[in-house]
Structure 1
Amino acid sequence: MDGTRRENVKPGITALIVLKKDQRTGYLTKGIVKDILTNSSFHPHGIKVRLETGEVGRIKEIVDEVL
């Protein structure tokens, strides 16, 4: 699922994010979303989130949704 729209992102979902330090390589980090940091409803590079591990990055892909 698309990570550029805030409506698709909820705390508790599993997502693949790109960390700031990994933007050049495109390496993705998998984790569970704790906080949504982007206030706007859309961001072309992905909604910025904080994972439960404390890592911050932009969502590239939503792996699993919370029902």
Structure 2
Amino acid sequence: MDGRKRADIKPGMLVDIVLKKDQRTGALTRGTVANLLTKSPTHPHGIKVRLTDGQVGRVKAVLGQSEG
């Protein structure tokens, strides 16, 4: 799943995000969703989330439930 639908993303899921500083390169950061920051049901660039380690970015891929 890509990360453009809010309904596809829940806290505790493992996702790949693009951080603001990595938008030019498209470098992905993997982590577990702590909370969703985008309020609208969809976003063309991906739903913005905060990871459990505090990093914020837009979801590019939903990988499923976190194992940890």
User: Runs of 5+ in structure 2 lacking a partner?
Assistant: none
1:12 aligns with 2:12: yes
Aligned residues: 66
- What's 1:64 paired with? 64
Q: TM-score normalised to the size of structure 2? A: 0.93
Cα deviation digits, residues 33-65 of structure 1 (max 9, x gap): 001000000000000000000000000000113
Q: CA RMSD in A?
A: 1.0
Runs (4+) of structure 1 exceeding 2 A deviation are: none
Distance between the aligned counterparts of 2:19 and 2:36, measured in 1?
Answer: 15
